[in-house]
Amino acid sequence: MSLSNWTLSQIWIEDSRPEEIAEPWVTVVIGIFMILTSAFGIFVNLFVFRRFVSKNMTSFYIMCSSKTISNSMILFCYLIFNGPVSVMRRYYGPEMMNMLLNQMAAYGVYVQGPMTQVCISFNRFLIIYFATLAKRKNGRKATFMALSICWLISLFVTVAGIPGNCTNIYNYDILTWDNLDPCVDTLADLVMYWIGVLAVISNTFNVVVAIKLIVSATKPHMDSVASKRRRRTSRRLFLQSCFQDWIYLLDTINSMFIYTWLDKIIWQFFFTIFSNLFVHVMDGCIMLFFNYEKKKSILMLPKKKECTFINVTF
């Protein structure tokens, strides 16, 4: 089943839209790639989610858990729709399914990531500069309130354009998104500039935190082991926040500017669909890398006639 005649008639042809159609084997290979990559990304994000919820759920881990959910939702769109229709070279289900899933992936649920990232960067800022304030008991309540606002904005962006056909659809013939109306460009610009503003805010917090960490590192310390461990944790989570900011900023640049440089199918696939897919896989991998805890084993070493137990970290 191909796109309906009505949908084809509604597609707005942009200047940068590829003129040729992808070869069948290219479509199938890329479809398999999307299925495998999205499945791997979902596995990583759900694994990270499981690790976070098993911890003491601080505000930081609550926000990271929310990101694993939004990442998995977007990757799920590729796993159940964009990947399979590329492999089969035919669409299934109502066309509204195509519109809704790809509106989520391109705009709606997508903005959840950068908004949550601002919350994470602000959390790092509070922890570093106002540790006493950040440890108040109402911290979780404020975190859930902030995340609720982020999810409501995400829902609004998802459904706002659907009644007026201001949506994206995935077109396997060109391996990227097609627009059903010129208003999609307006929506895309608003979303991408909003993400740009969020990136500036988030990275501003990161720079301020970096200054504090650098100044703190240059001062002599007579701290306890626990205090040194807290400083190492602060540096680690700061780096996590920075890397997560940068991959979203890179994807924004790809989808706003770089993809328009050439009208070749593979070029546009890599700087639209692949970039969108890759950022949510990498986001999960970054959270896994910076929060991976090596297991401790217990070795029994003989000492004279007694057995002494020591903890050794591998």
Q: What is the greatest pairwise CA distance in the chain?
A: 87
Q: What is the pLDDT of residue 153?
A: 93
Q: Give the confidence band of 227 by pLDDT, cuts at 50, 70, 90.
A: low
Q: What is the pLDDT of residue 230?
A: 62
Structural domain contains residue 10: no
Structural domain contains residue 297: no
Helix (H, G, I), strand (E, B) or coil at 110: coil
Identity at 100, one-letter amino acid code: L
Q: What is the pLDDT of residue 133?
A: 65
Structural domain contains residue 82: yes
What's 220's DSSP letter?
-
Q: Give yes or no for residue 145 having a pLDDT over 90.
A: yes
The CATH number linked to 59 is 1.20.1070.10
The domain total for the chain is 1
Q: Give the confidence band of 310 by pLDDT, cuts at 50, 70, 90.
A: very low
User: By C-alpha distance, which of 146, 125, 169 is closest to 67?
Assistant: 146
Q: Give the confidence band of 49 by pLDDT, cuts at 50, 70, 90.
A: very high
The residue written with tokens 């989610």 in the block is: 49
Which residues does 205 contact at the CB level (< 8 Å), separation at least 6?
118, 121, 122, 124, 125
Q: What is the pLDDT of residue 300?
A: 39
Q: What is the pLDDT of residue 105?
A: 92
Can you read off the two tokens belonging to residue 288?
A: 């896994």
Structural domain contains residue 237: yes
d(CA 198, CA 260): 23
* pLDDT tens-digit readout, 266-298: 999 999 999 999 999 999 999 999 876 654 433
Highest mean pLDDT among 76-85, 127-136, 141-150, 288-297: 76-85
Identity at 122, one-letter amino acid code: F
pLDDT average, residue stretch 150-178: 86
Cβ atoms of 197 and 122 within 8 Å: the answer is no
Cβ atoms of 221 and 257 within 8 Å: the answer is no
When mean pLDDT is compared across 31-40, 58-67, 206-215, 254-263, the lowest value belongs to 206-215
Distance of CA 256 to the CA centre of its chain: 17
Q: What is the pLDDT of residue 183?
A: 80
User: By C-alpha distance, which of 243, 268, 204 is closest to 196?
Assistant: 204
CA dihedral 130, 236, 242, 47 (to 10 degrees): -110
* pLDDT tens-digit readout, 254-264: 988 898 888 88
Higher pLDDT: 294 or 98? It is 98
Structural domain contains residue 191: yes
d(CA 112, CA 156): 11
d(CA 162, CA 181): 11
Burial track 175-191 (b if 16+ CB lie within 10 A, e otherwise): bbbbbbbeebeebbeeb
Q: What is the pLDDT of residue 116?
A: 93
Structural domain contains residue 108: yes
Show the domain range for 33: 21-291
Q: Give yes or no for residue 50 having a pLDDT over 80.
A: yes
The residue written with tokens 């084997």 in the block is: 25
Q: Helices 183-218 and 112-129, interaxial angle, to 10°?
A: 20
Structural domain contains residue 306: no
Can you read off the two tokens belonging to residue 99?
A: 């519109």
**Model pTM above 0.85:** no
CA dihedral 197, 278, 60, 52 (to 10 degrees): 160
Structural domain contains residue 8: no
Using CA atoms, how far residue 213 sits from 134, 160, 207, 208, 226, in Å, is: 17, 42, 10, 9, 17
